[in-house]
């Protein structure tokens, strides 16, 4: 079946603009995770959802970052007033349940803030 | 908090050489341990995992054993191929419950290049 998909694959924006990144998890997967991959910080956890709830938002770098999930499926990560340090690859993953289930990763969205 | 330390590399080997990438971790409780691989131009894929002490994960000729006494999960392969060239990430998942359950903590990644 279809894997995790993310859109857009690439996004170039100007400093100060808002951006929205989208993730479509594997059908039937209840858990959804957002991670960020950058040169300086490696791979870091941002937030996860179980259903539509986000029990752990501890990884969000600042209050400019927010995420939501609707219908237990699609999730959107929003970055307001983007800064150059937000440039990174944003990865989404999903798993059947929030346990030690394998997380399946999407191809990522490469965000460049000029 | 939880953390993962892995050999950063880069690691350069000739085809058919033996590979070891070291990974050690710090965690409360008994985490699950993973190796993920990222091939050039592709997304992260699970390579292997182990969920309890002394478990051995294996896939595609790669192996790693969960060593609780040394808090390690070293990745090994007896004979690497050019097609194994990729970035390898060691990771752990918190199993203690609570709001961090399931989140992956990654090491910094190790770039492996295999020459013919």
What confidence tens digit (pLDDT) does each residue in B1-31 have? 889 999 878 999 999 999 999 999 999 878 9
pLDDT, tens only, A60-81:
999 999 999 988 899 999 999 9
Q: Which of B14, B12, B10 is nearest to B116 (CA)?
A: B14
Closest partner CB to A48 (pick from B45, B91, B102): B102
Q: What mean pLDDT comes out for the span B32-47? A: 92
So what's the pLDDT on residue A1? 55
Low-confidence ranges of chain A (pLDDT < 50): none
To the nearest whole percent, how much of chain B has pLDDT over 90?
Answer: 75
Residues 6+ apart with CB under 8 A from A72: A30, A51, A52
So what's the pLDDT on residue B43? 87
A45 contact B CB<8A: yes
Examine the pLDDT at B95 and tell me if it is beyond 80: no
Cα B43 off chain centre by? 16
Q: What mean pLDDT comes out for the span B69-75? A: 96
Length, in residues, of chain A: 114
Residue of A nearest to B104 (CA): A45
A100 contact B CB<8A: yes
Residues 6+ apart with CB under 8 A from B33: B23, B25, B49, B50, B51, B57, B64, B66, B73, B90, B91, B92, B93
So what's the pLDDT on residue B42? 86
The count of CB pairs under 8 A between chains A and B is 59
Residue of B nearest to A55 (CA): B99
Residues 6+ apart with CB under 8 A from B70: B24
Rounded to the nearest 10 degrees, how much is the dihedral formed by the CA atoms of B17, B50, A97, A23? -20
Instruction: Find chain A residues with C-beta within 8 A of B103's C-beta.
Output: 33, 45, 48, 56, 59
B43:A91 CB<8 A: yes
- Per residue, the 3-state secondary structure of B2-27, as one string, reads CEEEECCCCEEEECCCCEEECEEEEC
So what's the pLDDT on residue B19? 97
Separation in Å, CA of B105 to nearest CA in chain A: 7
Closest partner CB to B89 (pick from A43, A58, A95): A43
Beta strands in chain B (DSSP E): 3-6, 11-14, 19-21, 23-26, 32-38, 44-50, 56-59, 62-65, 75-77, 86-93, 104-106, 110-115
So what's the pLDDT on residue A55? 82
So what's the pLDDT on residue B114? 97
Q: What are the Cα distances from residue B11, in Å, to B14, B101, B108?
A: 10, 32, 14
Q: Which of A112, A84, A90 is nearest to A45 (CA)?
A: A90
Residue of B nearest to A105 (CA): B44
Residues 6+ apart with CB under 8 A from B30: B52, B53, B68, B95, B96
So what's the pLDDT on residue B109? 94
B89:A91 CB<8 A: no
So what's the pLDDT on residue A42? 85
């Amino acid at each position: 079946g279809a894997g995790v998909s993310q859109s857009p694959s690439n996004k170039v924006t100007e400093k100060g603009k808002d951006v929205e990144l989208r993730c479509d998890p594997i059908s039937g997967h209840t858990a959804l995770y957002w991670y960020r991959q950058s040169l300086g910080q490696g791979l870091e956890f941002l937030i996860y959802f179980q259903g539509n709830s986000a029990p752990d938002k501890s990884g969000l770098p600042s209050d400019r970052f927010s995420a939501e999930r609707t219908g237990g499926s699609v999730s959107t990560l929003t970055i307001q007033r983007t800064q150059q340090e937000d440039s990174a690859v944003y990865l989404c993953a999903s798993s059947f349940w929030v346990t030690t289930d394998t997380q399946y990763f999407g191809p990522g969205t490469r965000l460049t803030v000029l | 908090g939880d953390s993962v330390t892995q050999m950063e590399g880069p690691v350069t080997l000739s085809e058919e050489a033996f590979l070891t990438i070291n990974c050690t971790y710090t965690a409360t409780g008994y985490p699950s341990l993973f190796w993920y691989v990222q091939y050039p131009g592709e997304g992260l894929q699970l390579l292997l995992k182990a969920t309890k002490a002394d478990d051995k994960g294996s896939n595609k000729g790669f192996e790693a054993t969960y060593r609780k006494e040394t808090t390690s999960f070293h990745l090994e392969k007896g004979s690497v191929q050019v097609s194994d060239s990729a970035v390898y990430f060691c990771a752990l998942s918190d199993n203690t419950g609570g709001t961090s359950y399931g989140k992956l903590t990654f090491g910094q990644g190790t770039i492996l290049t295999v020459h013919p």
